[in-house]
Amino acid sequence: MDFKSFLLEKKEKETADVYSFFFRPKEGDINNFLPGQFFLIKLNNPNLRPNFKPYSALLPYNPKTLGFGIKIQGQFSRALFELKEGQEVFIAGPFGKFLFKEGEDGVFLAGGIGITPFFCMIASLLLKNYSKKLYLFYSNKVLADVAYKSRLDELAAKNKNLKIIYVLTREQKEGFENKRIDFEMIKKYVENPFSPNYYICGSEEFLNGIKSLLEKNSIPKEKISFESW
């Protein structure tokens, strides 16, 4: 794999255990990528096995800045968190075929840090003034876990075609859906739930549950795309 040298530009705290990391290439421009694709980040640390992990791009393409939303869990992400600004990492990519199908409405179903590829997709589509309807169901346990809420709300405020439904499964809050995502919830917000394409990203448990839910309610398999983290 062709790993290139990058420097940590900055990191920003989003929630208690989610941080945004921004890297700049040591030389040249970042390889162009499509929203939904991922990169491999490698650390020069002999104690890590493996010493690289995949992360989806968080922001639309910028030739000089590559952003990732990362949950600090496990040995690798903790080592990443310990990096100081200006330290070197190695990044390869892009990879992956988890891509938005333009020309149709889209329903995004995100569990936790599974929001990252969808943030990139939605922001990229809105930059192009995408005219079809976009629905984001964003599920977390409690409000404190909801990363990027202010930025998502800002995107929704600027585009009438984007509807965001925040879902909390272990906390009761007014203005939120306070249960697990089910098909009744989807029908409540999506005008014609059998028309859009569906995109799922989250833990394996979340992904399998939502995928099964859609298939049981006669959503064709060809309309369902997914990626686990």
Cβ distance 163 to 134 under 8 Å? yes
Query: Tens digits of per-residue pLDDT, 89-129?
Result: 999 999 999 999 999 999 999 999 999 999 999 999 999 99
- pLDDT for 202 equals 96
- pLDDT for 1 equals 77
Q: Cα–Cα distance between 200 and 154 in angstroms, integer?
A: 22
> Are 148 and 169 in a shared domain?
yes
> Are 217 and 185 in a shared domain?
yes
Q: Of 52, 69, 164, 168, nearest to 113 (Cα)?
A: 69
> Are 76 and 113 in a shared domain?
no
What is the residue range of 76's domain?
4-95
> Are 145 and 222 in a shared domain?
yes
| Residue 129 falls in which region: left (phi positive, over 0), alpha (psi -120 to 50) or beta | left
Final residue of a domain: which of 34, 64, 95? 95
Structure tokens at 202: 């989250």
What CATH number does the domain containing 166 carry? 3.40.50.80
Distances (CA, A) of 162 to 6, 34, 56, 227: 34, 20, 21, 22
- pLDDT for 229 equals 66
Q: b/e per residue, 164-186, with b = 16+ CB within 10 A?
A: bbbbbeeeeeeebbeeebeeebb
> pTM for the complete prediction?
0.95
Cβ distance 118 to 197 under 8 Å? no
- Report residue 190's pLDDT band, with 50, 70 and 90 as the boundaries: very high
- pLDDT for 8 equals 98
- For residue 122, the SS3 value is helix
Our CA angle for 100, 136, 216, nearest 5°, is 80
Q: Cα–Cα distance between 4 and 151 in angstroms, integer?
A: 30
Question: Is 101 part of any domain?
Answer: no
> Are 221 and 110 in a shared domain?
yes
> Are 112 and 224 in a shared domain?
yes
Question: Is 48 part of any domain?
Answer: yes
- Report residue 57's pLDDT band, with 50, 70 and 90 as the boundaries: very high
- pLDDT for 178 equals 96
**Cis peptide upstream of residue 35 (ω within 30 degrees of 0):** no
Q: Cα–Cα distance between 147 and 13 in angstroms, integer?
A: 9
> Are 142 and 191 in a shared domain?
yes
